[in-house]
A and B are shown apart, each in its own frame.
Chain A
C-alpha cells in the first residue's frame, strides 16, 4: 500500500487532499464514538444521561456511514 509521504506533519497543518481528509475525519469520529461507547458501557441503563449519550452515539455513527457511502469503504487509496 502506498503511503502519503506528505502526511500531516503537525496537527495544525492544512489537510492536503481528500484521502487525508477522510482519514482525519474518521479518526475524530472514532474517538467521539469510542468515548460514547465507553460511557454507555459504564453507565447504569436507567441513568437519565444515557439517552443523551445515545444521541451522540447515533449521530457519530451516522456520520461514519455517511463518510463510507461518500467515498466507498473499500476504495483503493493512492
Chain B
C-alpha cells in the first residue's frame, strides 16, 4: 500500500492546461490523471482513492466548487486545490469554507503547487506509518494468529490467556468453522506445556471399536490385528495436551473410561492389567450443545462436568461481524503472498457483500471464499465480480435472511437449519468414511455428483477434489 504513488487528479476544461500541469508536477513523484470533463473526473473520484484533486473553478456544466463538494463527500481524505483565472475573494472564501486546501490563481505558481503536493505527500506518509503501527496493535490484539477485535473475541482471548497457565481441562464450544482448534492450540501454546506435544483426535472420525486402543494403547495380541504393543494418545501426549475434537461423538463406553482417566490420571492399555500414570491436559471441543446432550442422557453428565471446568465459547461470525474486515484484510494478505499476486485490498462494494452475507461456515468459509477469490483475481483490488466468482451461486447476499439471523438462533429460518443439519451430517459421514467420497455418497444415498454439488455449496471441496470432479 505504501508503495503506491500518491495520485493527483487534474480537472480543467482546457486541454492545454492539463498538459502543462502534468509536466509541471512531474518532479513531485505523483501519478497524474487528467480530465477535461468534470463529469468524467467525478466518476473516477467516486471510486478511485485519490490524494489530491486539482480542479479548475470555472468549467461548463459542473463547476469547481461542485466538484469540491462531491469530493469532500465521496472521499474526505482527498485534498482539493482549486485554480482559477479570475481570483475573486468570494469564491476563495467559499472554497476554503468547503474545505479546499488552497486556491491558486492562473498563471499558476508552480513552486507553490509543488510545495502543496509535497505537503500532502508527507502527511500521507505519516498516516501510512501510523497505519503500520496500527497493524502492530492488531497483532497485539491477536491470539496465536487468531484475529478478533470485537469485544466478544477480546474477552475470549483474555480468558484464554488467564486460564492457559493453569487449567487442566477446558471445553471449547462453537459452530463449525469458528476456530475451536485454534483456541485449543492457543491454550497449549500459552501454557507451561508449550514445549510438549499437542495431539488431536477427531472423535467423529474414529471407528468405535478402535477408540480405546487409539486413546489408551494396546498390548500385543489384545485383539485381532494387535501385532505389537502400542502406546495410545494419552501416553504419547503425556506432559502435553490432548485435543478431543467433536467430543460429543464419543461412544458411551469410551466416555466412561475417559472419565476414569480424568479422575485418576491412570490409563490401562487394552489387554494389559497394569495401569500407568499420565499427566495430560484435555481440551475438548464440540459444536453441539453438550449440556443439553447431557441432560437428554446422550452424553455422560459426570464427564461433561469434568470437561466443562472452563467453557470457552467461540461466537459465530454473525455475532462479530465487525471483525469481518480485519479477517478479510488478513486473509487477503495471506493469499496474495501465497499466490504471489499484488492484491492490495478489496473494493468497498465487495466488502459490503462480505459483510451482508450469511456465513454458515463461519471464519473457515470466509477464508475459503477469499482464498478462491484471490486465486481468481486479476487486478490489484478484489472486485465484486472476483468475489461472486468465488461464492457459491445460492444464498449469496441475502439481507432478509441475515436480519432473521441477527434476531437470534430461534428466529432462524427452517431452510437455514436444514442447511446446517445437512452440512454437519455430510461432514460427519465423510469423516466416518475417512474422507472417501464414494463411500460417503453411498452411505448418504446420494450419487457422487450430487455429493460433490453439496460439498461445493458448503465450501467443503478441496482443490484436488475439484480436479477430480
Q: Does B85 sit at the interface, judged by CB under 8 A? A: yes
Residues of A that sit less than 8 Å from B by CB: 1, 3, 7-9, 19, 22-23, 26-31, 33-35, 37-38, 41, 60-61, 64, 73-77
Question: Among the listed B59, B65, B90, B94, which residue makes an inter-chain contact with A7, where contact means beta carbons less than 8 Å apart?
Answer: B59
Question: Of the 9-residue stretches B12-20, B225-233, B250-258, B420-428, which lies at the interface with chain A?
Answer: B12-20
Residues of B that sit less than 8 Å from A by CB: 13-14, 16-17, 20-21, 23-24, 57-61, 63, 65, 85-91, 94, 106-108, 110
User: From residue B435, how far is it (CB to closest CB) to chain A in Å?
Assistant: 69
Task: Report whether A27 and B17 are in contact in the complex, using a CB–CB cutoff of 8 Å.
Answer: yes
Task: Report whether A22 and B88 are in contact in the complex, using a CB–CB cutoff of 8 Å.
Answer: no
Task: Report whether B17 and A23 are in contact in the complex, using a CB–CB cutoff of 8 Å.
Answer: no
Task: Report whether B23 and A38 are in contact in the complex, using a CB–CB cutoff of 8 Å.
Answer: yes
CA gap between A8 and B87 in the complex, in Å = 20
List 20 A-B residue pairs with CB atoms under 8 Å apart, sorted by A's residue number: A1-B57, A1-B90, A3-B63, A7-B58, A8-B13, A19-B86, A23-B58, A26-B86, A30-B108, A31-B14, A31-B16, A31-B20, A33-B107, A34-B108, A34-B110, A38-B110, A41-B110, A60-B107, A74-B88, A77-B88
Chain B, residue nearest A67 (CB): B85
Question: Among the listed A7, A22, A73, A74, which residue makes an inter-chain contact with B60, where contact means beta carbons less than 8 Å apart?
Answer: A7
B106: chain A residues within 8 A (beta carbon): 26-27, 30
Task: Report whether B107 and A29 are in contact in the complex, using a CB–CB cutoff of 8 Å.
Answer: yes
Task: Report whether B110 and A37 are in contact in the complex, using a CB–CB cutoff of 8 Å.
Answer: yes
CA gap between A8 and B106 in the complex, in Å = 19
Tally A-B pairs: CB < 8 A: 74
Given A3-B63, A9-B60, A74-B88, list of 4 further CB < 8 A pairs?
A: A1-B57, A30-B17, A37-B107, A38-B23
B107: chain A residues within 8 A (beta carbon): 26, 29-30, 33-34, 37, 60-61, 64
Chain B, residue nearest A73 (CB): B87
Task: Report whether B86 and A22 are in contact in the complex, using a CB–CB cutoff of 8 Å.
Answer: yes
Task: Report whether A3 and B58 are in contact in the complex, using a CB–CB cutoff of 8 Å.
Answer: yes
A77: chain B residues within 8 A (beta carbon): 86, 88
User: From residue B66, how far is it (CB to closest CB) to chain A in Å?
Assistant: 9
B60: chain A residues within 8 A (beta carbon): 7-9
Chain A, residue nearest B66 (CB): A3
CA gap between A4 and B62 in the complex, in Å = 10
Tell whether A74 pairs with B65 under 8 Å between CB atoms, given A3-B58, A34-B24, A34-B110.
no
CA gap between A31 and B83 in the complex, in Å = 13
Tell whether A23 pairs with B63 under 8 Å between CB atoms, given A1-B90, A3-B58, A34-B20.
no
CA gap between A35 and B107 in the complex, in Å = 11
Task: Report whether A76 and B58 are in contact in the complex, using a CB–CB cutoff of 8 Å.
Answer: no
Chain B, residue nearest A36 (CB): B107
Q: List the 8 closest pairs (A to B, CB-CB), nearest first.
A: A7-B60, A26-B85, A30-B106, A30-B107, A34-B20, A33-B107, A1-B91, A31-B16
CA gap between A8 and B108 in the complex, in Å = 22
Task: Report whether B87 and A31 are in contact in the complex, using a CB–CB cutoff of 8 Å.
Answer: no
Question: Among the listed A9, A33, A38, A75, which residue makes an inter-chain contact with B88, where contact means beta carbons less than 8 Å apart?
Answer: A75
Task: Report whether B14 and A74 are in contact in the complex, using a CB–CB cutoff of 8 Å.
Answer: no
Chain B, residue nearest A71 (CB): B86
Task: Report whether A76 and B110 are in contact in the complex, using a CB–CB cutoff of 8 Å.
Answer: no
Task: Report whether B85 and A38 are in contact in the complex, using a CB–CB cutoff of 8 Å.
Answer: no
B108: chain A residues within 8 A (beta carbon): 30, 34
User: From residue A43, how far is it (CB to closest CB) to chain B in Å?
Assistant: 14
Task: Report whether B14 and A27 are in contact in the complex, using a CB–CB cutoff of 8 Å.
Answer: yes
B88: chain A residues within 8 A (beta carbon): 1, 74-77
A22: chain B residues within 8 A (beta carbon): 85-86
